[in-house]
Amino acid sequence: MIRAVCILDQGGVCVYSRIYDQSLADPQLMGSLISALSLFSRETMGDELRAIRSGGHLIIVSDTAPITTMVVADRAEDVTSELVDAITLRFLSRYAHIIKRGGELSALREFDAVLDELIPLGKTAGGLIEPRTPLDSLALIDLPADLRDLAVLLLRERELSATDAARSLSVSEVEALEMLHRLVSLGVAGLRMEDGRVVFFL
Partner 1 sequence: MKCFAVHSYKGGTGKTTLAANLAVIYARMGHDVVLLELDFQAPSLHTLFGVRGRDAYMNDYLSESATWDDVLVDLGDNYDLDGLLVLGFSNPDVDEIRKQLAKDRKWHMQAISQLLVLKERLRAEGFDYVIFDSAPGVHYSSVNAVVASDFTVVVAKIDNFDFDGSIALIDQLYNPLERRAFMLFNKVVPPLLTGSRPAISTAEEVFKDKAEILGFVPCYCDVPLAMGSEIQALSQPDGPFATRLQQVAQKIAEIDVAAKHGT
Interface residues toward partner 1, by CB under 8 A: 133-138, 140-141, 145, 148-149, 152-153, 155-156, 158, 165, 168-170, 202
Smallest separation (angstroms) from partner 1 to the CB of 197: 19
Cα–Cα distance measured from residue 80 to residue 78, given in angstroms and rounded to the nearest whole number = 7
Cα dihedral 67, 92, 85, 71 sign: positive
Mark out the alpha helices in the chain (DSSP H runs): 27-40, 81-101, 111-118, 137-142, 145-157, 162-169, 173-185
Nearer to partner 1, 132 or 197 (CB): 132
Smallest separation (angstroms) from partner 1 to the CB of 90: 31
Cα–Cα distance measured from residue 81 to residue 97, given in angstroms and rounded to the nearest whole number = 24
Smallest separation (angstroms) from partner 1 to the CB of 142: 8
| Helical packing angle, 145-157 and 173-185, nearest 10° | 90
Phi, psi of 14 (to 5 degrees): -75, 110
Nearer to partner 1, 37 or 169 (CB): 169
Cα–Cα distance measured from residue 119 to residue 123, given in angstroms and rounded to the nearest whole number = 7
Smallest separation (angstroms) from partner 1 to the CB of 170: 5
Smallest separation (angstroms) from partner 1 to the CB of 34: 34
Asked if residue 71 lies in contact with residue 4, where contact means CB atoms within 8 angstroms, the answer is: yes
Phi, psi of 130 (to 5 degrees): -85, 145
Smallest separation (angstroms) from partner 1 to the CB of 1: 29
Nearer to partner 1, 25 or 153 (CB): 153
